[in-house]
A = this chain, B = another copy of it.
Amino acid sequence: MLYLTRRETFNAAHKLHVAEWSDEENRSVFGKCSNRNWHGHNYELFVTVAGQPDPVTGFVMDAKLLSNIMKEEIVDQVDHQNFNLDVSWVPKNIQPTTENLLVLFWKQIEERVNNAGKAKLYSIRLHETENIYAEYFGPNGRK
């Protein structure tokens, strides 16, 4: 098995805010991330696929194809958008945390990545700032 990783970047706005809570409750749980008028990040997205290199091309997966899937299914739909308001596949009743976004991103690309060839989606990592990132290995966990 080899693991190929591709990075894409995007910028988006969000806030962390439970509608049923008071401002004080939101602030005590989410701090500045609950500020009313949003804030945003330069997100870095890393998608890793696992497979054997093709004996002719030497590719586990064409990195350009992986890039295209990431762009079409994720980046083009979230870049310069507001995760709380603008993205149809981000439910309004969940918080757009790095963790929750990863699970949603996985669903966005899993099928296309896995059907693109023999490689399988292995993990997604999302960096929110230089100090915080999260990683997800799919509903079946790290293999």
Partner of A7, one of B3, B30, B131, B143: B131
Instruction: Check B29 against A80 for contact (C-beta < 8 Å).
Output: no
Residues of B with C-beta under 8 A to A39: 11-13, 40, 79-82
Q: Give the size range of A's interface with the partner.
A: 35 or more
Q: How many copies does the complex hold?
A: 6
Instruction: Check A12 against B32 for contact (C-beta < 8 Å).
Output: no
Residues of B with C-beta under 8 A to A42: 41-42, 129-130
A114 at the interface (CB under 8 A from B): no
Known contacts A13-B38, A80-B32: A134-B3 contact under CB 8 Å = yes
A2 at the interface (CB under 8 A from B): yes
Instruction: Check B81 against A9 for contact (C-beta < 8 Å).
Output: no
Instruction: Check A1 against B142 for contact (C-beta < 8 Å).
Output: yes
Nearest CB in chain B to that of A39: its residue: B80
A/B interface sample: 20 pairs, CB < 8 A = A3-B134, A4-B99, A6-B132, A7-B130, A13-B37, A14-B40, A18-B56, A18-B57, A32-B80, A35-B81, A37-B82, A37-B85, A41-B41, A53-B100, A58-B94, A58-B95, A58-B97, A58-B99, A59-B97, A59-B99
